[in-house]
Amino acid sequence: MSAIFEILDKDAGGRIGRLRTPHGTVETPTVMPVINPNIQLIPPKEMRNFGAEILITNSYIIYRKEELKSVALEKGLHGLLGFDGPIMTDSGSFQLSVYGSVEVTNEEILGFQQKIGSDIIVPLDIPTPPDVHYRRAEEELAITAERLEAARKFIQGEQLLAGPVQGSTYPELREKAASHLKDLNFEVYPLGAVVPLMEAYRYAELVDVIAASKKGLSPASPVHLFGAGHPMMFALAVAMGCDLFDSAAYALYAKDGRYITVNGTYHIEKLNYLPCSCPVCSRYTAEELKKADNREELLGKHNLYATFAEIRLVKQCIKDGKLLELVEQRCRAHPKLLDGLKKLYTHSSWLEQLDPATKGTFFYCGPESSSRPEVLRFGKRLDRFSLQGSVIIRTGPVKGEKDYDQILTFKAPFGAFPVEMEEVYPFNAEVPKFPDYESLNSALSNTLKLIDLNPEAEFTFICEEEFKHPLIEEIRKRAKLVYRKDWKKE
């Protein structure tokens, strides 16, 4: 485990952790509100009122503006912003991605961040955008690697150093970059140049980028998803192992008259009601908020309240072992997020290695639940069951079952398992009475595998008539299959 990052609780790839910095310990997952040194919609000293423990600002903006630079060098970064907690500083890479160049070197901006007392220092990496040619991504990644190696030698004090993971939309480059940085022992690992993916709702590709980067890093390393500030995707990103987010959305959206919720964003002019009970929404009606002289400030505050409310819910779900249920609910807010959810479960084999083996209760939320790590884990362990003699498989108690040598319960999406395990996680699952196709497919496939693994046993499967699936006929070839309505009528 990292000396600066302690993991307290885990669920799926998500975790609750403690990140130690020179200006205090931060509990993750959390959001770092972005502070523009020139324009502060909400003063940094008020950020704790919303739940912020750490902020992020841009050292390049401070470096380039003489009046800000002089104050920062004299009073320090925390004095400049009026915030006594941890502050992370970006290096100017964002400006580099937008304008193509910056008027500072890697060494200059590293030294400046160090002098003004940044808690987490970011080198001047090359943020390679999505969809570029592989050769360009590879060449820019090599430049970034050189700069990060130089930064690691340069920063050796108590300040934390971030090692951004680049590689565009090429998973193999992301994993290669992450693996290289892991050996250099950075304290925080931001995943860079992902904002264009989020802006275009390319969540499936974002999932692949995160997964590839995480696979190259140590599981104990804190990961920052750069530019991820909308609460609708926090649960998904946390489930993949992201610990830190930064949000300028609260202010940018407020300026544009937009109102953030976990299910998407509304234009305030189109709202008749405020679907929130934060201090702003409890005090104002929709009409009053539209006409308020300080509307932008009030919207910014609401957006922050909504942002941190979701972070707290994500943390509670990790505590309760319910994170994947929250992910599946949130990803139904937008079709592109649903693409992200489906892509997430293509990485179930990797997630299964991180996911705790014991939790509370498995809740089936939809077809995607059939691909959860718990279901995959069960399928991989079917060879642990040794069955002999007469075996009955049923969905619920039936007459005469005690005449059989062994009794198995059938529950989708898992399949057949010993009746003695019905109250054990995950077989205590809450599932629909009528399984969907995907759930039945998983359960019947596992049942067929179990039958094939135990050729000496004689199986009887008491099947529900509602189970409409081609694999039913495959089971009929290997076992005696009787519909429940016909049981004991023979």
Answer whether residue 1 shows pLDDT above 50.
no
Q: Do residues 350 and 387 share a domain?
A: no
Asked whether the CA dihedral 75, 79, 85, 86 is positive or negative, the reply is negative
pLDDT at 240: 97
Which positions ≥6 away from 316 have C-beta within 8 Å?
none
pLDDT at 357 over 80: yes
CA angle 417–420–422, rounded 5-degree value: 65
One domain, residues 418 and 296: no
User: In the chain, pLDDT over 90 holds for what percent of residues?
Assistant: 92
In a domain, 364, yes or no: no
Please give the average per-residue pLDDT across 192-219, as a whole number.
Answer: 96
> How far is CA 51 from each of CA 32, 33, 47, rounded to the nearest angstrom?
10, 10, 7
Residue 398 CA to residue 460 CA, distance in Å, equals 12
Residue 231 covered by a domain = yes
354, 386, 418 - which closes a domain: 354
240-258 residue pLDDT tens: 999 999 989 999 999 999 9
pLDDT surpassing 70 at residue 169: yes
Q: What CATH number should be reported for the domain holding residue 177?
A: 3.20.20.105
The answer to the question of residue 361 being in a domain is: no
Overall residue count recorded for the chain in this entry: 490
Question: Largest Cα–Cα distance of the chain, in whole Å?
Answer: 92
Give pLDDT, residue 99. Answer: 67
Q: Are residues 399 and 331 in the same domain?
A: no
Q: What confidence score (pLDDT) does residue 96 get?
A: 76
Domain total in the chain: 2
**In 10 A of CB 455, how many CB atoms?**
8
Q: Which amino acid is at 372?
A: R
Catalytic residue among 11, 90, 119, 125: 90
Phi, psi for residue 244 in degrees, rounded to 5: -125, 140
Does residue 339 sit in the same domain as residue 396? no
Q: Which residues pair with 121 in a beta bridge?
A: 89, 161
| Domain membership flag for residue 153 | yes
Per-residue pLDDT of 429-467, as tens digits, reads 999 999 999 999 999 999 999 999 999 999 999 999 889
Tell whether 349 and 450 lie within a shared domain: no
List pLDDT tens digits, range 224-239: 999 998 999 999 999 9
Total-model pTM:
0.94
Three-state DSSP class for 89?
Answer: strand
Query: 7 is written with which tokens?
Result: 């993991």
Same domain? 279 vs 421 = no
320 and 171 share a domain?
Answer: yes
Secondary structure tally for the chain: helices H, strands E: 19, 18
Average pLDDT over residues 85-104: 83
> What is the band of 489 on the pLDDT scale with cuts at 50, 70, 90?
low
pLDDT, average across residues 141-162: 95
Omega before 275 within 30 of 0, i.e. cis: no
> 92 pLDDT exceeds 70?
yes
Contact 31, 308 (CB under 8 A): yes
Parallel/antiparallel/unpaired status of strands 5-11 and 14-21: antiparallel
Of all residues in the chain, what percent carry a pLDDT higher than 70? Answer: 98
Task: Give, in order, the Cα–Cα distances in Å from 389 to each of 274, 405, 406, 458.
Answer: 63, 6, 8, 6
pLDDT band at 97 (very low <50, low <70, confident <90, very high): low
CB neighbour list of residue 318: distance below 8 Å, 6 or more residues apart: 9, 10, 11, 14, 15, 16, 238
Say if 362 falls within a structural domain: no
360 is a domain residue: no
Same domain as 62, residue 171: yes
Residue 228 domain boundaries: 5-354
Domain finish residue from 297, 325, 354: 354
Residue 363 lies in a domain: no
Residue with tokens 């390049």: 60
Residues 116 and 238 in one domain: yes
Q: Which residue do the tokens 């305030």 mark?
A: 268
Catalytic (active site) residue 90: yes
347 and 374 in a single domain? The answer is no
- Which of 325, 354, 383 represents a domain boundary (last residue)? 354
The stretch 357-372 carries a mean pLDDT of 93
Mean pLDDT of 150-170: 95
Can you give the pLDDT at residue 2?
Answer: 63
User: Alpha helices, DSSP H only, in 232-278?
Assistant: 234-239, 249-255
DSSP-derived letter for residue 129 is P
Find residue 15's DSSP bridge partners: 10
- The reported pLDDT for the residue numbered 388 is 94
Are 316 and 413 within one domain?
no
In a domain, 308, yes or no: yes
Q: How far apart are CA 56 and CA 26, in angstroms?
A: 13
Ordered DSSP codes for 101-121: --SS-HHHHHHHHHHHT-SEE
Between CA 38 and CA 31 the distance in angstroms is 21
Whether 344 and 386 map to the same domain: the answer is no
